Structure 1
Amino acid sequence: MKIKLPTKKGIPNTNPEIDFEQLVIIGANGSGKTRFGAKIEEDNHLKTHRISAQKSLSIPKLVRPTSLEVARNEFFIGSNHPQQNVNEALSYKKSNRWGDNFNTHLLNDYEKLLVLLHTEEYETLSDSKEKNILSPITKIDTVKSIWEKVLPHRKLKIKSGVIETYPTGQEDNKYNASEMSDGERVIFYLIGEVICSPEKSMIIIDEPEMHIHKSLVKTLFDLIEIERPDCSFIYLTHDIDFAFTRQNAAKIWAKAYEGNSIWDYEILEGDMPIPEQLYLEVLGSRKPVIFLEGDNSSIDYEIYEHVFPTYTLKPLGSCEKVIQSVKSFNEQKGFHHIDSFGIIDRDRRQVDDIVKLNSKGVWVLDVAEAENLLLIEDIVKAVASHMGRDANDVFDQVKRNLISFFSDQMEAQILLHFKESLRKKFLSLTNFTKKNLDDVLPELNTMYQSIDKQNLFENIKLDFEKAASTQNYDSILQLFNLKNALIPASKVCDLTGIRNKEEYKRLVITILKRKDIVSEQISKGIDLKIIKTLHNNS
C-alpha cells in the first residue's frame, strides 16, 4: 500500500511517500508514535482501522446479535447512524469511536467486536442453511483457530452469544471468557479486530506487544498477517524485539513530535543499520544475539528468524564482520550479560577451521551456502505436500537432478575448492616469526615448500568423487557452492508447480510461519544443518 506520511521536520509542506505491506514505527515513549499513527488514520480514514494501546479489555458475559449492518457500523465507526455514507464523515468517527479525543481515548469496543462476531456467525449459518452449505467457516471460527494455535494449552467453546474457555483436555472445567487473563483476552481481541476489519484495510496497531508474553508475540502476528493478506499493517512500538520479528517490514524511527502535526523521524533504509542512538532511547533486547551474514532481506535471515525465535538476529553483511562482532561482543559480556553467537556459510571451509570457529561461538552451516538449505529433504517434501504432489516422488527426482548436475560441474567445483584451500594456505605464510628480512625469506620458503599442493588437490578430489559415487545428497549440498544455480538445476519449481525460485523461497517462509508440526519439523531439519560444537578427531 502506498500512502503519504505525516510532515517531516526540516521538509516543510512536504509529505514523504512510502509503499509497504508491513510498516513498523519504532521509538521511545513520548516520541509521538501514537499521534503519528492517528495522523495516518486521519489522512486515510476511509480505509484505516486503528487499534489503540489504551483499550478496555472488559469482556461481557453475554452479547446479543443485531443486524449485520448495524454491527459493522458500531464496530468500525463507533455507532450506528441512519445517514447514508456515514463512513465518509471523519468527524463522526472521531466523535463516536474516539470520544472526541483522537489520540489518547480509552477505546472500549470489546462488546462491539463480540456482537459483530456473533452476528456474522448467525448470518453466515442462516445463509448457508438456505444454500445447503455444510459447516461454513465463520469469522469467529477463524478467531478461535488462531487463538488456540497461539495458546495451545487453552480451548474455546463458542455458544450463542457466549464464549467459554477451558484448559486443553479439561472441558468440564469451562469458565466464561470474561474471566480470562489479560494476555488471553488481548490476544482474542487483537485477532478479532484484524479478522473483522474491512477488506483491503490499513490496520494500525499501537503497542502490539502490550500484555502479551514475548514468546507468543511473533507467532500471533505471523498468523494474523497470513490470515489477512489483503490488508497492510502498521505497528507502533518501542520494543526492538518486536520490531525485529517483522522481518520484511519497512521501518521508521520516530524521534520526536515537534507540534503542529510535524514529526522528527527517519525512514530506515533496508541496508542501513539501526542507529546506535535508537538502541539507547528504546528498550533494548535482552535476548541472546545471533549475528548473521547478509542483510534483512537475505534468505538466511528470513529462515533463521523462524528457526531461532528466542534470539535477536542481527545481519552484518560479511562473514568477517560476523566473526569479529561475536568476538568483540563476547569480550564485553561482563558488561551486558548477553550471549552472542554467529552463523556463517560453510564456503569450502575445512574441519580444522570449523573447529576453531565453533570454539569462539561462531556456528557454521553444514551446507555450502544458505540457499542450499532450501533443498534439504524436509523442505522439499514439505513444499511438495503443500502443493498437493507426492513428496517422496518429488524429492527423489530433485535428488537425481542435483546429483546429475553435480557430476557435470564436479571438475570446476574441485578447482574452486582447491583454489580456496590454497588461498588459506598462502595466507598462513604471513604468520612468520623472524624479525628481519634475511631470516624471514628462508622461513617463508620453508613454509611454502611444506605445502603439499598435490596432496591437497587429491584429498579435495576424493571428497567430491566419493559424494558422486555414493550419490550422497547431504554431502553434495555441503560441497556444491554455485550461487543461484542449484534450485533451477534441481527443477524443484517445475516438479511442485511453482512459477520460479522467488515464489519457492516465499512459500518456504510461509510454511515456516505457520507454527505447526510441519514447520517444526522443517525448523529442526535446518537446525541440524548448523554445526555448533564440532570436535576435530583427526
Structure 2
Amino acid sequence: MTENKYKFNLPTSNNGTINIPLIEGNTLFVLGANGVGKSTLMHNLFSQNSNHAKRILAHRQTWFTDNAMNMTASQKKQTENSIKSTNSQIYSRWKDDYSQARTSLSIFDLINSENIRARNIADAVDGDNIELAKEHSRDQAPIQAINELFAISNIPIKIILGKDEQLFASKNGSEPYSIAELSDGERNALLIGADVLTTEPNSLIILDEPERHLHRSIISPLLTSLFRKRTDCVFVISTHDIHLPIDYQESSTLLVRSCQWVGKRIKDWDADLITADFGIPNSIKTDILGSKRELLFVEGQSTSLDRQIYQLIYPNVSVIPQGNCREVEKAVNGIKKTDNIHWINAYGLIDTDDRTPEQIQSLLEKSIVAIPFYSVEALYYHLHIIQEVANKISELTGQEASTLYQNATANIISDISQHKERLCSRLCEKKLRNDIMSSLPKHRDIQARGQFNLTFDLNTVLQNEEALFVGLVNDNNQLELLTRYPIRETQVLNRIASGLGLTKEQYENSVRKLILDKTEIKEFYRTLLQPLTELME
C-alpha cells in the first residue's frame, strides 16, 4: 500500500491544484450544495483511478426485478466490462444505461460471495483439513455481516439466503418475503452494504449521496460500520449531509463551494481541504433541529468497540463517541444548556475511574452515567458472555461448552498477575487525573488570591491499590479483575479468545452476533448498565 496508488488532483480557483492524499483505511467526504460541481468532480476522481475503483452512483436504481441471480458468470463479466466503459463517459454523471444491471450485479456478488465461502469450507472438509475448514467457518459470512450492519443501523430487517439461491427478508421476526418487497431505504441500505462488502480488496470506493432514501439515524452508523469492515479500502463519499463528516471525525473533508465552467467543461472549483487532524470547522456545524432524538455520548472513537456494542444494546439511540470522559461531559452539558433551541435528549456514559459515590451521583444528576468498568472490554469479556459464546460454539461444533469455557478462563489469573504494578499504576493514574481535574481552582478561588496546593502520596496510593489487587487474585475473583483493570494491555483477551478456538476479532464479532440473535443477552447488558437504562426509560 502506498499513498501514490490513488490519484485525486483537483484544480481550484483559490488554492491552485490540490493533490488530495487517499490512503487505505481513510475516508474523505466531499461536501457541497447542489450545483457546485460535485458530480463532475466525482466522475473525474473515478476516471483517474478506474483500474482499482468502484463507483456507487447517486442516481442508482434501488428496486429489484427479482431476488435471485438472474445472470450467468459470463454474462456478469460482460456486463461489468460494459459498465466500466460507460462509467468513463462524462454522461455517466447524469445518465445510467445499466441501472437495472447494477442492482443485479450487487445481488449476484452478494450471493456468490456466500457461495465461495461455503465452497472453501466444503473443499477443506473434502481434503480432510478440518482445521482449515474451521478457519474458513469463522470468517464472517457476507449476509451475516449485512445483518449486523442492519442491526447497528437501526434497520429491523434480517436477510436470509433461501432455496434456489433466492434472498429473502424478515422484519422483526416476520415470515420471510422477497427482498424486492423491501422499502426504498431498506433496499438502498442493502445495495450499499452488498456493494461495499463485495468490493475487491485494496480498492477506492466512490459513493455518491448515500443519504438518498435513508434517514440520517440509519446512514451514519451504516457508513461507520462499513468503514470498520473495509479498512483495506479508501472511501470517498459525496454528500449534502453536513452531519456525516461530523459524525465521523477521523475523516477529512473537501468543502466545495462553487465551480467555474468553460463551455461544457468545469475549469476549476472553489474548494478547501480540511484534513482529519483539523476537524470540521464550526462554520459548517449546525444545531440539530426537528424531531426529537436520543443521543448517547460515549468514550472511544467512531470505529472503536464502544460504539458497536452500545448501538446494539440500545438500538433506538444514536451513539456518538467523544474520545474521553471530559469530552463526553462537555457534549452532554453543552446540549443541556441549549435545550431551548432543539429537541434532543442527551446522555453520557463514562468509565467510573474509581470515582467516589458522591461524584457518581453528581454526574448522574447531569444525565451522565459512570459504569463500574475500566473500559468497554469488560462488557465483551464478561464471564457470563464468555460462557454464552462457549455455549454457541458448542451448539455449532459439538464440543463440550464446559471444556471451552474452562480453556478460555483458565489463564485469567496468571496472565493478569504478571502485570500487577503496571495495571495498578494505570488505574491509579486515571483516578489521580480525575481528582486533579475536579480539584482545580475555579475563577472565584483565583480571585481570592490565596494559595493552591495539591499533593499526593503516590507510594501510598499505589500500595493500597496493589493490596486490593493481591486480594482479588488470592480470592480468584476473575470478574472483578477483568472489569477493574485495563486488560487490553495484557495477553488476557487473546488468550480468552484462543481458548475458544477464535481470534480476538472473531470473538468480538461473536459477542455482537449474540446480542443480535438473543434478546436475553441484550437484556443482560441493559441490566448490567441499569443506571443508564433507567435514565433513558
TM-score of Structure 1 vs Structure 2, range by shorter chain: 0.5 to 0.7
Summarize the Cα distance change of 1:218–1:161 in structure 2 as closer, same or farther, 3 Å threshold.
same
Aligned to 1:528: 528
Question: Could you give the per-residue CA deviations for residues 313-354 of structure 1, whole angstroms, max 9, x where no partner exists?
Answer: 152x55444434433321211212222233333223111111
* Residues 296 and 318, structure 2, Cα contact 8 Å, conserved in 1: yes
Deviation at 1:41, TM superposition (A): 0.6
* Residues 383 and 496, structure 1, Cα contact 8 Å, conserved in 2: no
Question: In the alignment, is residue 377 of structure 1 matched against residue 383 of structure 2?
Answer: yes
Question: In the alignment, is residue 393 of structure 1 matched against residue 407 of structure 2?
Answer: yes
Question: In the alignment, is residue 183 of structure 1 matched against residue 188 of structure 2?
Answer: no
- State the distance in 2 between where 1:155 and 1:339 align: 32
Stretches of structure 1 that go unaligned for 5 or more consecutive residues are: 79-86, 449-454
SS of the aligned residue for 1:258 comes to strand
Question: Could you give the per-residue CA deviations for residues 339-387 of structure 1, whole angstroms, max 9, x where no partner exists?
Answer: 2233333223111111111111222131235566665435666888889
1:288 to 276, 281, 294: 294
The aligned amino acid for 1:183 is G
2:241 to 236, 239, 253: 239
Percent of residue pairs identical: 17
Within 5 Å, give how 1:386-535 maps onto structure 2. 390-402=404-416, 405-406=419-420, 467=472, 470-477=475-482, 479-480=484-485, 486-489=487-490, 491-494=492-495, 496-497=497-498, 504=504, 510=509, 516-517=516-517, 521=521, 525=525, 528=528, 532=532
Summarize the Cα distance change of 1:400–1:24 in structure 2 as closer, same or farther, 3 Å threshold.
same
Aligned to 1:104: 94
Aligned to 2:344: 338
* Residues 26 and 237, structure 1, Cα contact 8 Å, conserved in 2: yes
The aligned amino acid for 2:516 is D
Summarize the Cα distance change of 1:364–1:320 in structure 2 as closer, same or farther, 3 Å threshold.
same
- State the distance in 2 between where 1:170 and 1:509 align: 28
Question: In the alignment, is residue 18 of structure 1 matched against residue 32 of structure 2?
Answer: no
* Residues 300 and 324, structure 2, Cα contact 8 Å, conserved in 1: yes
Summarize the Cα distance change of 1:113–1:395 in structure 2 as closer, same or farther, 3 Å threshold.
same
Question: Could you give the per-residue CA deviations for residues 65-84 of structure 1, whole angstroms, max 9, x where no partner exists?
Answer: 55533322324533xxxxxx
- State the distance in 1 between where 2:258 and 2:286 align: 18
Aligned to 1:82: none
Question: Could you give the per-residue CA deviations for residues 288-316 of structure 1, whole angstroms, max 9, x where no partner exists?
Answer: 3344556557765676566556225152x
The aligned amino acid for 1:74 is T
- State the distance in 2 between where 1:49 and 1:148 align: 23
* Residues 62 and 187, structure 2, Cα contact 8 Å, conserved in 1: yes
- State the distance in 1 between where 2:464 and 2:166 align: 71
Within 5 Å, give how 1:138-177 maps onto structure 2. 150=150
Deviation at 1:261, TM superposition (A): 5.3
Within 5 Å, give how 1:311-390 maps onto structure 2. 311-315=318-322, 319-369=325-375, 375-377=381-383, 390=404
Question: In the alignment, is residue 27 of structure 1 matched against residue 31 of structure 2?
Answer: yes
- State the distance in 1 between where 2:94 and 2:289 align: 22
Question: In the alignment, is residue 5 of structure 1 matched against residue 19 of structure 2?
Answer: no
- State the distance in 2 between where 1:396 and 1:58 align: 52
Aligned to 1:272: 278
Question: Could you give the per-residue CA deviations for residues 118-167 of structure 1, whole angstroms, max 9, x where no partner exists?
Answer: 699799999x99xx979999xxxx77666666366566676769877676
RMSD, matched Cα: 5.7
* Residues 157 and 169, structure 2, Cα contact 8 Å, conserved in 1: no
Summarize the Cα distance change of 1:285–1:472 in structure 2 as closer, same or farther, 3 Å threshold.
farther
Task: Please say which of residues 273-282 and 513-522 is displaced more in the overlay.
Answer: 513-522
SS of the aligned residue for 1:40 comes to helix
* Residues 287 and 312, structure 1, Cα contact 8 Å, conserved in 2: no
Deviation at 1:206, TM superposition (A): 1.4
Deviation at 1:205, TM superposition (A): 1.9
Aligned to 1:60: 65
Question: Could you give the per-residue CA deviations for residues 514-537 of structure 1, whole angstroms, max 9, x where no partner exists?
Answer: 5733899489649835854999xx
Question: Could you give the per-residue CA deviations for residues 263-291 of structure 1, whole angstroms, max 9, x where no partner exists?
Answer: 44444444433211222399999643344
- State the distance in 2 between where 1:217 and 1:4 align: 27
Summarize the Cα distance change of 1:240–1:76 in structure 2 as closer, same or farther, 3 Å threshold.
farther
- State the distance in 2 between where 1:235 and 1:33 align: 10
Deviation at 1:19, TM superposition (A): 0.8
Deviation at 1:256, TM superposition (A): 1.9
SS of the aligned residue for 1:102 comes to helix
* Residues 54 and 104, structure 1, Cα contact 8 Å, conserved in 2: yes
Deviation at 1:94, TM superposition (A): 3.7
Question: Could you give the per-residue CA deviations for residues 376-405 of structure 1, whole angstroms, max 9, x where no partner exists?
Answer: 435666888889992343224214533575
Aligned length: 488
Q: TM-score when scaled to structure 1? A: 0.67
* Residues 158 and 164, structure 1, Cα contact 8 Å, conserved in 2: yes
* Residues 63 and 161, structure 1, Cα contact 8 Å, conserved in 2: yes
Question: Could you give the per-residue CA deviations for residues 450-484 of structure 1, whole angstroms, max 9, x where no partner exists?
Answer: xxxxx99999898667645544344445554xx6x
Question: Could you give the per-residue CA deviations for residues 56-105 of structure 1, whole angstroms, max 9, x where no partner exists?
Answer: 33433599955533322324533xxxxxxxx6xx5x5445xxxx523222
Summarize the Cα distance change of 1:524–1:235 in structure 2 as closer, same or farther, 3 Å threshold.
farther
- State the distance in 1 between where 2:319 and 2:197 align: 29
- State the distance in 2 between where 1:169 and 1:321 align: 39
Question: In the alignment, is residue 252 of structure 1 matched against residue 253 of structure 2?
Answer: yes
The aligned amino acid for 1:345 is D
